[in-house]
């Protein structure tokens, strides 16, 4: 940095140097990926919490949570971020926690912010639901385009890498990876048609993907809202102390119950409006959205969510 300052003073008038230095600092900050907020759950489980919000130029597309499960000889990583660069960023963070390599990657669903960092873990076995793999193969490059549009950047090293090992829809499978006992729980389509949650019974921990989020509006774009509400009810039947959600801070069961209640109330309100012959835009004006307004990205997602719920109710009424 000192050499840069010296060259600026030699090349430009002194009064321009502060402005040029500010521009250099801004350019450097623009390229930086925010550091994960590392939360230790216990000696073998860490949460890597990303910023809360939409992908942007400022966050370089990093806005997702990941889970690090440290096993006997390697690491199981759940969700890898929105690009190869973010995957590499997470890999460096993991290296600061343990010297063990990432041997397994689990993708909770097909959305790009959870799977496009897979390229950074070429030696790992990738695991997902069968439907998730199909959607990654079908839509993976579309998600790269969305990322480029939202951040204004190009990602030439990023490509969709679908799972090596998949599990069937609506299944619960007990597996042991790197000595860690876990259940791979694929509910009926909820946030997406191919969701997978990871339940660690010994740790009383659930890694939920975007089926659960905190301080951010959940996205209904690919959702089956009624089924999602059922899934939230089933989560509350499990012995869980901590949830690592897809976005936002760590959650407790009270947070799960609160999200469940919000979605039940929203669904009922939209359904009542539909039965009255109202359109979704009219229904929105009648809904109590007080709790939803407290969350990040309310303006960007709430109208879409109400419309999606309306269309689902309309479809199921035929």
Show the domain range for 296: 32-317
Mean pLDDT, contiguous 10-residue spans, the chain (318 residues): 42 47 42 93 98 96 98 98 98 98 98 98 98 98 97 96 98 98 98 98 98 98 98 98 98 98 98 97 96 96 97 92
Residue 18 lies in a domain: no
Please report whether residue 25 resides in a domain. Answer: no
Question: Domain for residue 257, yes or no?
Answer: yes
- CA Rg value for the chain: 21
Residue 11 lies in a domain: no
Tokens of 225: 């809202």
> Helix-strand-coil percent breakdown of the chain, rounded to 5?
40, 20, 35
* 107 domain-assigned: yes
Examine residue 48 and state whether it is found in any structural domain, yes or no. yes
Give Cα separations from 291 to 266, 274, 301 (angstroms): 11, 22, 14
CATH number at residue 124: 3.60.15.10
Quick check: is 80 in a domain? yes
Question: Residue 7 domain-assigned?
Answer: no
**Under 8 Å CB-to-CB from 182, ≥6 apart: which residues?**
69, 76, 174, 175, 176, 198, 199, 200, 201
How many structural domains are present in the chain? 1
């Amino acid at each position: 940095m000192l050499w840069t300052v010296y060259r600026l003073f030699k090349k430009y008038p002194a009064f321009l140097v502060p402005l040029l230095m500010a521009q250099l600092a801004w350019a450097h900050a623009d390229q930086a990926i925010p550091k994960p907020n590392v939360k230790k759950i216990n000696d073998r489980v860490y949460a890597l919490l990303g910023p809360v919000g939409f992908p942007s130029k400022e966050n370089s597309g990093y806005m997702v949570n990941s889970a690090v499960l440290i096993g006997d000889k390697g690491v199981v990583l759940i969700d890898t971020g929105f690009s190869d660069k973010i995957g590499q960023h997470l890999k460096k963070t993991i290296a600061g926690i343990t010297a063990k390599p990432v041997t397994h990657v689990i993708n909770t669903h097909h959305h790009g912010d959870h799977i496009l960092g897979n390229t950074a873990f070429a030696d790992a076995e990738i695991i997902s639901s069968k439907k998730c793999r199909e959607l990654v193969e079908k839509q993976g490059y579309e998600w790269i385009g969305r990322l480029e549009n939202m951040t204004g950047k190009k990602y030439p090293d990023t490509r969709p890498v679908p799972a090596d090992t998949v599990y069937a829809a609506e299944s619960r499978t007990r597996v042991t990876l790197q000595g860690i006992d876990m259940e791979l729980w694929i509910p009926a389509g909820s946030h997406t048609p191919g969701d997978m949650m990871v339940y660690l019974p010994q740790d009383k921990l659930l890694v939920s993907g975007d089926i659960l989020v905190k301080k951010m509006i959940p996205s209904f774009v690919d959702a089956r809202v009624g089924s999602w509400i059922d899934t939230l009810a089933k989560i509350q039947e499990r012995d869980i102390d901590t949830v690592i959600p897809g976005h936002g801070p760590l959650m407790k069961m009270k947070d799960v119950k609160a999200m469940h209640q919000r979605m039940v109330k929203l669904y009922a309100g939209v359904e009542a409006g539909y039965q009255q012959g109202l359109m979704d835009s009219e229904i929105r004006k009648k809904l109590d959205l007080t709790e939803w307004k407290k969350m990040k990205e309310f303006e960007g997602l709430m109208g879409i969510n109400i419309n999606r719920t309306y269309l689902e109710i309309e479809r199921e009424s035929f």
